[in-house]
């Protein structure tokens, strides 16, 4: 039991050596696709379509109001 503590401390010190960390791969600089990317694109497309429909509805409402006058 007494030998476990010094061994654990030795391993902890060895893990904290002054070595520089290994360089990360260049692929990490590129954005990785996630499963939610497609859903975000669909959501943005739906927002764009809704905006277009709302704009057309406003134009039709204006045209109706002008026709009534």
Calpha distance 48→54 (Å, rounded)? 10
pLDDT of 41: 94
What confidence score (pLDDT) does residue 40 get? Answer: 94
pLDDT at 57: 97
**Whole-angstrom distance, CA of residue 63 vs CA of residue 57:** 10
Determine the distance from the C-alpha atom of residue 8 to the mean position of all C-alpha atoms in its chain, rounded to a whole number. Answer: 39
Cα dist from 34 to 10, 25, 31, 53, 64, whole Å: 41, 19, 9, 30, 46
Q: What is the pLDDT of residues 4-63, one digit of tens each?
A: 888 888 777 777 767 776 776 655 557 788 889 999 999 999 999 999 999 999 999 999
Interior angle at CA 20, CA 17 and CA 21, nearest 5? 100
Q: What tokens appear for 58 in the block?
A: 């406003």
């Amino acid at each position: 039991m007494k030998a476990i503590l010094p061994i654990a401390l030795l391993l902890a010190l060895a893990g904290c050596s002054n070595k520089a960390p290994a360089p990360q791969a260049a692929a990490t600089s590129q954005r990785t696709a996630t499963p939610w990317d497609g859903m975000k694109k669909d959501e943005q497309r739906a927002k764009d379509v809704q905006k277009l429909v709302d704009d057309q509805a406003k134009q039709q409402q204006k045209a109706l109001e002008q026709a009534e006058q």
